[in-house]
Structure 1
Amino acid sequence: MDAEPAFTAVLFGLRGCLVQSAETGPSPAPGALATLAHLRERQVPCIWVDDLTGPPSQPFTNVLPGWLPGHREQGARWPAPNGCWQALIALGSQRLDGCVLVSGEPGLLQAGLNAGLWTVGLAACSPHCERSAREWQGMTAQQQGAARGKATLELFSLGVHSVIDHLEALDNCLAHIAQRRSKGEKP
């Protein structure tokens, strides 16, 4: 059996994807640090991407590993693909084949699709599920499931290639994308 193709790079949305806002300040999203460490161990280049429309990113990046580079979109706004391409250039990536974008932000996911990247939507950090921890915990399991279901449908309607709830499921998702790539599928 042929080995699954390696990934060229993984781009992550910064806010909501890798880092969550909490009442006590920014903190790594569940599974973010373990996911980044695992990708680094496998020598898969990673970078976070963010735009200038939100608050300054410095407090958010302080909770991430120092080795993780970032790119703040300063030119065309999402869904323009420029920010994704510029992040890949900053990583020294020489090709689009095998590049993946992970985010719950519809505009950023659309930018990834426009750039020709594989895209993984994070339902738990999409606008439909973006609530404070207190609000989320105050919801019943049925309400949480309905919110995740609505987010999943919205992300698939954008055209993303896969949707997962949390970063903890990213490794299995990447394995599935690798299988698709080994069969010749392109984003």
Structure 2
Amino acid sequence: MHDAPAFTAVLFGLRGCLVSNNNGSPLPAPGALDTLDGLRRQQVPCIWLDEPDAEQNEQLADLLPDWLPGQLSNGSPWPAPNACWQALMTLQSQRLDGCVLVSGEPRLLQAGLNAGLWTVGLAACSPTCDQSSQQWQALSQQDQERARGRATLELFSVGVHSVIDHLESLDTCLADIAQRRRKGEKP
């Protein structure tokens, strides 16, 4: 079989995925800047998506590279696919084949599935694992692992194609999706 073409675009959730809340202060999520830098070096177009909250979106996006565009969900709320398609139009993407959405937000992931994209769920960034909450911080490591396991199952129940804990594992996950594409699998 021939090699699958390079990834067409990678869409990211903004909150929780690229930017996390660390004790009330937003910071780039672990691995976010390295992941974005690596994709840029590979010339894979990237964009973030989020729901409208102009002040907070601007503050969060300021933590990310200037070259990274963003797309707010306007019009139909998630899980409607419109925001994903609008993001791809912003990137001037020529095709859906090879487009991937990465997020911990189940409604956004469902929007990606509805749009025909490959989807990667981030278990540690899902609402089940709100690492900025006092409740989460009070959990033992074993209980946090159980919560991540529940989040993984919840994300797979949405129908995502892969689930990883953090963005640090995205390279391996994208390699797996590339292999699946080479075998002819479609999202």
TM-score range, shorter chain: over 0.9
Partner of 2:86: 86
Distance across 2 between alignment mates of 1:40 and 1:161 = 23
Partner of 1:12: 12
2:49–2:71 Cα contact (<8 Å) kept = yes
2:24–2:132 Cα contact (<8 Å) kept = no
SS in structure 1 at match of 2:25: coil
1:13–1:105 Cα contact (<8 Å) kept = yes
SS in structure 2 at match of 1:101: strand
State the 1:63 CA deviation.
0.5
Q: Deviations over 1:122-174 (max 9, x none)?
A: 00010110131665443222101100000000000000000000000000000
Partner of 2:163: 163
SS in structure 2 at match of 1:175: helix
In structure 2, stretches of 5+ residues that fail to align are: none
In structure 1, stretches of 5+ residues that fail to align are: none
2:131–2:137 Cα contact (<8 Å) kept = no
Task: Return 155-164 or 14-23, whichever deviates more.
Answer: 14-23
Under a length normalisation based on structure 1, what TM-score does the superposition of the two structures give? 0.95
2:7–2:44 Cα contact (<8 Å) kept = yes
Partner of 1:126: 126
Q: Deviations over 1:93-135 (max 9, x none)?
A: 0100000000000000000000000000000010110131665
- The 5 A counterparts of 1:39-78 are 39-52=39-52, 56-78=56-78
1:7–1:44 Cα contact (<8 Å) kept = yes
RMSD over aligned CA atoms reads: 1.6
Partner of 1:180: 180
State the 1:50 CA deviation.
0.5
Distance across 2 between alignment mates of 1:115 and 1:133 = 31
2:48–2:70 Cα contact (<8 Å) kept = yes
**For the structure 1 residues 133 and 28, does the alpha-carbon distance in structure 2 shift closer, same or farther, using more than 3 Å as the test?**
farther
Under a length normalisation based on structure 2, what TM-score does the superposition of the two structures give? 0.95
Distance across 1 between alignment mates of 2:24 and 2:141 = 25
Distance across 2 between alignment mates of 1:138 and 1:165 = 20
What letter is aligned with 1:167?
Answer: L
Distance across 2 between alignment mates of 1:136 and 1:38 = 31
Distance across 1 between alignment mates of 2:3 and 2:185 = 15
How many equivalent pairs are there? 187
